Amino acid sequence: MPFPSLSVFFPAYNDAPSLPGLLASTFATLEAHVADFEVIVVNDGSQDNTGEVLDHLQAHYGPRLRIVTHPQNRGYGGALRSGFAAATRQYVFYTDGDSQYDVTELPRLLALVGPHTGLVNGFKLERNDPAHRIWIGKAYNFCARLLFRIRIRDIDCDFRLIRRDLLQQVHLTSTSGTICVELVRKLELTGCEVVETGVHHYARLYGKSQFFRLPSLATTFFELARLWLRVVILRRSAY
């Protein structure tokens, strides 16, 4: 039986080479498994030809593909917040536009949705990144889970399925990668059912990660500290 209603979106920054294949796989997967769906790409101020590639893809897919364009880069958190705001279906799935996750594994998440499920979160079965990124990722995940008392095992696995009415209950403010911590923490605080499943993670074929640049790391850890102070210590903006 097809999944009833789903918005799928991808935050994209300089992801022009990966988007044609990603969207081809996405539409094929959704047509086989979902009754009613929409696909959204958030072009977060890309400086390559992502905009031109998306114009070509929209001409091919027509109204089934929606594009949200940021004239200037708003950061990963800003891109996710735009994607959540643009989504209109009952559930929302997102993953990154660089194809390090395989969108054909989405049906695995859809199959785990029950009457009370608010979040289905992937966890990386094996991380295919350079060694230093793996260690930074492990340290970040450990610290974030400890500081924010988050229960899921892999906060920075951006392969997530969320019930949209819960997204409308939480108020997200982060502009950097800390939005994943804020999002999961606030979803867990709603008391919704959270389910986890392993997904594959692949080596990056195109471009460079924006998260592991020194300025991005500095911004992320600054925002993480500020979020911890506000949400955990001062207990403000829990939702």
Q: Domains (ranges, CATH) in the chain?
A: 3-233 (3.90.550.10)
Per-residue pLDDT of the chain (239 residues), as tens digits, is 899 999 999 999 999 999 999 999 999 999 999 999 999 999 999 999 999 999 999 999 999 999 999 999 999 999 999 999 999 999 999 999 998 999 999 999 999 999 999 999 999 998 877 777 788 788 888 888 888 889 999 998 999 999 999 999 999 988 888 899 999 999 999 999 999 999 999 887 765 655 555 566 677 777 788 888 877 776 655 55
pTM for the model stands at: 0.90
Q: What letters, b where the CB count within 10 A reaches 16 and e where it falls short, cover 185-217?
A: bbbbebebebebbebebeebeeeeebbeeeebe
**pLDDT reported for residue 211:** 54
**pLDDT reported for residue 129:** 72
**pLDDT reported for residue 235:** 67
**pLDDT reported for residue 46:** 96
3-state secondary structure 21-63: HHHHHHHHHHHHHEEEEEEEEEEECCCCCHHHHHHHHHHHHHH
**pLDDT reported for residue 239:** 54
**pLDDT reported for residue 15:** 95
Residue 153 sits at the vertex; the CA angle it makes with 100 and 236, to the nearest 5 degrees, is 105
